[in-house]
Amino acid sequence: MNTMHTMNTMNTMNTTNATDARTTARNAAATEAAAAAATEAATAAATAATAAKAQGGAGETTDVTARAEKKGASPRIAVLTNDLQYELVEKNPERQANVERFKPGLIQFLNDMRGLDHRVAHLQLVYDEGDKKIELHNGRVPVLRGTPGAEIIREFLHPSDAIIEKKKDSGFFETGLDAYLKHHEIQIVIITGMQAQICVQTTAADAHFRGYNVIVPSDGVVSTREEDRNRALEWLRSYCAVVMPMDAIVKTLRERNTFDFSVPALP
């Protein structure tokens, strides 16, 4: 009897232990599954947030502008220069003289904008030997990649500036400019450089199409011929840009006033 009682007790204990082991295993599995589900949900949420941001496109710029205005924060601005490169500026005496005249004012403007914690990016026109449909200089391809003539004029540069290569007139055509601007949540682009009726005008239009607010400094752009510059400024003012002098831009920002980016009525 004692032996049978002992065996029964042992069997009961073994059964209980086995049950406890199965229960523990089930609990561990359930905990592991819950953790996996939580991780999967967090990953899905992060993926959805990234996708939503990527799909924002040009509209994201408007959203950022609205948030900045609501908080009373200063807008995020990037100053873009166009084609201020040795070989392009030195193409002819007229172009060189015009750039020399506006150089001190533009250098000061760039320094002022950096001092206000805004970004400066230089659009650098770069050609390769096999490029087609480009303007030759004295029968040869200008601003070839890696040549001294393709470099940005050093007086306009600062270590904090970005340099973005382009192969056509517009700074947005098959370049990283739009990605750069969105990465820094830029709302306003100020477009400077040369020539007003070509690179400045096409870059300004492309910025407008992408939802950025555009400013063109009337004294921050040049052309070989003054009539081309005046015609470009008039077109920009009537279509897609605020046109005003560089010192007025800086004064507006320092006084925390706003720019009027309302779309002009077309005739």
Query: Between 136 and 189, whose confidence is greater?
Result: 189
Say what angle helices 246-254 and 93-115 make with each other, to 10 degrees: 0
The pLDDT of residue 55 = 33
101 and 108 in contact (C-beta within 8 Å)?
Answer: no
For residue range 172-227, what is the model confidence (pLDDT) as tens digits?
Answer: 999 999 999 999 999 999 999 999 999 999 999 999 999 999 999 999 999 999 99
Domain assignment present for 9: yes
DSSP characters over 180-243 = HHHHTT--EEEEEEE-IIIIIHHHHHHHHHTT-EEEEETTSEE-SSHHHHHHHHHHHHHHT-EE
Do 20 and 90 lie in one domain? The reply is no
Do 84 and 209 lie in one domain? The reply is yes
Do 175 and 89 lie in one domain? The reply is yes
Domain count, the chain: 2
The pLDDT of residue 81 = 98
Above 70 in pLDDT, residue 7? no
The pLDDT of residue 132 = 72
What's the mean per-residue pLDDT of the chain? 80
The pLDDT of residue 198 = 97
What is the domain extent for residue 102? 57-254
Q: Which residues of 170-183 are buried (b: 16+ CB within 10 A; e: fewer)?
A: bbbeebebbebbbe
State the CATH number of the domain containing residue 107.
3.40.50.850
**β-bridge mates for residue 140, sequence order:** 137
Domain assignment present for 207: yes
User: How big is the chain by its Cα radius of gyration, in Å?
Assistant: 31
Domain assignment present for 191: yes
Do 34 and 73 lie in one domain? The reply is no
Percent of the chain with pLDDT over 70: 73
Tokens standing for residue 218: 């009337």
Average pLDDT over residues 147-165: 97
The pLDDT of residue 116 = 97
Q: Which value, to the nearest 10 degrees, does the dihedral of the CA atoms of residues 145, 151, 157, 161 take?
A: -10
Query: Between 8 and 181, whose confidence is greater?
Result: 181
Region of poorest pLDDT, from 15-24, 50-59, 156-165, 255-264: 50-59
Q: How confident is the model at residue 263 (pLDDT cuts 50, 70, 90)?
A: confident
**Residue 135: which of 124, 147, 143, 123 has the closest Cα?**
143
Q: How confident is the model at residue 5 (pLDDT cuts 50, 70, 90)?
A: very low
The pLDDT of residue 74 = 76
Do 196 and 123 lie in one domain? The reply is yes
Query: Between 9 and 182, whose confidence is greater?
Result: 182
Do 129 and 47 lie in one domain? The reply is no
Do 26 and 49 lie in one domain? The reply is yes
Do 41 and 67 lie in one domain? The reply is no
**Residue 253: which of 187, 199, 209, 196 has the closest Cα?**
187
Do 18 and 84 lie in one domain? The reply is no
The pLDDT of residue 73 = 62
For residue range 29-86, what is the model confidence (pLDDT) as tens digits?
Answer: 444 444 444 444 443 443 333 333 333 333 333 333 333 344 456 789 999 999 999 9
The pLDDT of residue 212 = 98
Do 95 and 27 lie in one domain? The reply is no
Q: Report in angstroms the alpha-carbon separations of 64 from 33, 58, 184, 185.
A: 39, 10, 11, 7
Rounded CA separation 80/192 (Å): 6
